[in-house]
Amino acid sequence: MKVLLVGGGGREHTLAWKIAQSPLVEVLYAAPGNPGIERHAKCLPLRADALDDLAAFAVAERVDLTVVGPEAPLVAGLADRLAAHGLVVFGPSARAAALEGSKAFAKDLMARHGVPTARFRVFDDPHAARRHCQALGAPLVVKADGLAAGKGAIVCRTLDEADDAVAACMERRVFGAAGARVIVEEFLRGEEVSFFALSNGRDAIPLAAAQDHKTVFDDDRGPNTGGMGAYSPVPRVDEAGERALMETIVRPTIRALAREGAPYRGVLFVGLMLTAEGPKVVEFNCRFGDPECQAILPRAQEDLVPLLAAAARGEDLPARTAWRPDAAVCVALASGGYPGEYRTGLPIEGIEAAESVPGVHVFHAGTARRDARLVTAGGRVLGVTAVAPEIRGAIAAAYAAIARIRFEGMHYRRDIGRKGLKI
């Protein structure tokens, strides 16, 4: 098979690493890829948002399967363009990807079909949004409706914070057009978990659960980031819990989309809050999580390619997939200043030494080559993943590997995976 992987971050490096292991894959292309991905694939000078160029390449090279990593190309309709040429693509149509592209769409769909989520209202007027915040009371959550790189959900502990969140989204336009409309919803209390399922458009099967660490500092302090690390499995999501999630959330959502003419083919990422009343949806995403992907796929026992291809073609899926019982922990190494302003172009050293630690993989997220040197090129630079029989060992191995990596300003959380010891 010829496979095209779209994207160039840590999630895509993990997918490239796993896809390249398949004996079915003759050649793997990546667009645009990164210095880590080029170890597994032929990287192309094509941006992930260059929809016409990507489609033209896939047609010219007769690509058998395209795997779309990031959400933006899916929301923009890349899957539709590829399908129009008769190509097989793993990733939902633009209409189905609206689950992530518009939080208002997702919330309305859940409300219509009885999928449990927080109570909410949608606003396109900042004054009306503020009046509702006053009526609802703090704490509450203000969310930008559109794509905001994982930073558009603002937890407001006070009404003053809610006022500023509305201003940031709707008046200062911190998130651009994504914040023109906002969702104000009740604050859910509980344990937050990321759950992943694979859908062929008609039904779905479970993959695995992980727990992300969103805020920049230890003990869940500071502003939200794109994710500072993750671990898998999550002890609170056992087999019974997984079955309940599939029957109360995942399958009803997949069937609802199919009934509304938007069959979902790809991976469904369900952001959940495990509340006292049961699991409730915080958000849907239309792709593998980042950094959750880096903690989940190293635990996968099976060849990933047949599963992706079956889902993409709408074919029957196996009843379930096989996972190693081991634990995996991924720690993101970030540039100084992230999630605010940060410098790039800083030399990176020690990756080879880090990967000599047993069970460790280093996935590139924001790196580049400059004058034959590996340098920083993003906010989250590397994801250091360790796999071990128990989570305590995975934590120890990940941080032992991190101690061997250096770049100016490097910072990271030192408590990734600790919640897995407490649950």
pLDDT tens digits for range 370-388: 998 999 999 999 999 999 9
Q: What are phi and psi of 75, to 5 degrees?
A: -65, -35
Residue 125 is given by DSSP the state -
Q: What are phi and psi of 418, to 5 degrees?
A: -60, -35
Arithmetic mean of pLDDT, 73-93: 97
**Over the stretch 335-361, which tens digit does the pLDDT of each residue have?**
999 999 999 999 999 999 999 999 999
* Mean pLDDT of all residues belonging to the chain: 96
Domain 125-180: give its CATH architecture: 2-Layer Sandwich (3.30)
List of residues 6+ apart from 177 with CB closer than 8 A: 146
CA angle 187, 188, 190 (to 5 degrees): 145
Beta bridge partner(s), residue 2: 27
323/321 Cα distance (integer angstroms): 7
Q: How many CB atoms lie within 10 A of CB 169?
A: 29
Closest CA to 229 of 393, 415, 416: 416
pLDDT at 11: 98
Domain definitions of the chain by residue range: 2-91, 125-180, 191-313, 327-422
SS3 373: strand
**Over the stretch 249-274, which tens digit does the pLDDT of each residue have?**
999 999 999 999 999 999 999 999 99
pLDDT beyond 90 at 234: yes
Residue 322 is given by DSSP the state -
The 3-class SS string of 228-247 reads CEEEECCCCCCHHHHHHHHH
Arithmetic mean of pLDDT, 50-69: 98
Lowest-pLDDT range of 56-60, 125-129, 148-152, 208-212: 148-152
Arithmetic mean of pLDDT, 277-300: 96
pLDDT beyond 60 at 67: yes
Contact 328, 299 (CB under 8 A): yes
**Over the stretch 148-200, which tens digit does the pLDDT of each residue have?**
877 788 999 999 999 999 999 999 999 999 999 999 999 999 999 999 999 99
Contact 310, 1 (CB under 8 A): no
Arithmetic mean of pLDDT, 77-91: 97
pLDDT at 269: 98
Contact 187, 141 (CB under 8 A): yes
List of residues 6+ apart from 96 with CB closer than 8 A: 257, 262, 263, 264, 265, 266, 286
331/395 Cα distance (integer angstroms): 9
Residue 404 structure tokens: 């061997």
- pLDDT above 90 coverage of the chain, percent: 96
Arithmetic mean of pLDDT, 10-28: 98
pLDDT beyond 90 at 423: no
Q: Is 104 left (phi over 0), alpha (psi -120 to 50) or beta?
A: alpha
**pLDDT bucket at 422, cuts 50 / 70 / 90:** low
Lowest-pLDDT range of 43-47, 74-78, 153-157: 153-157
Arithmetic mean of pLDDT, 133-148: 94
How far the first Cα of the chain sits from its last, in Å, is 42
191-313 adopts what CATH topology?
A: D-amino Acid Aminotransferase; Chain A, domain 1 (3.30.470)
327-422 adopts what CATH topology?
A: Glycinamide Ribonucleotide Synthetase; Chain A, domain 4 (3.90.600)
Highest CATH level, class, for 2-91: alpha beta
- pTM score, whole prediction: 0.95
pLDDT at 9: 97
Q: How many CB atoms lie within 10 A of CB 171?
A: 11
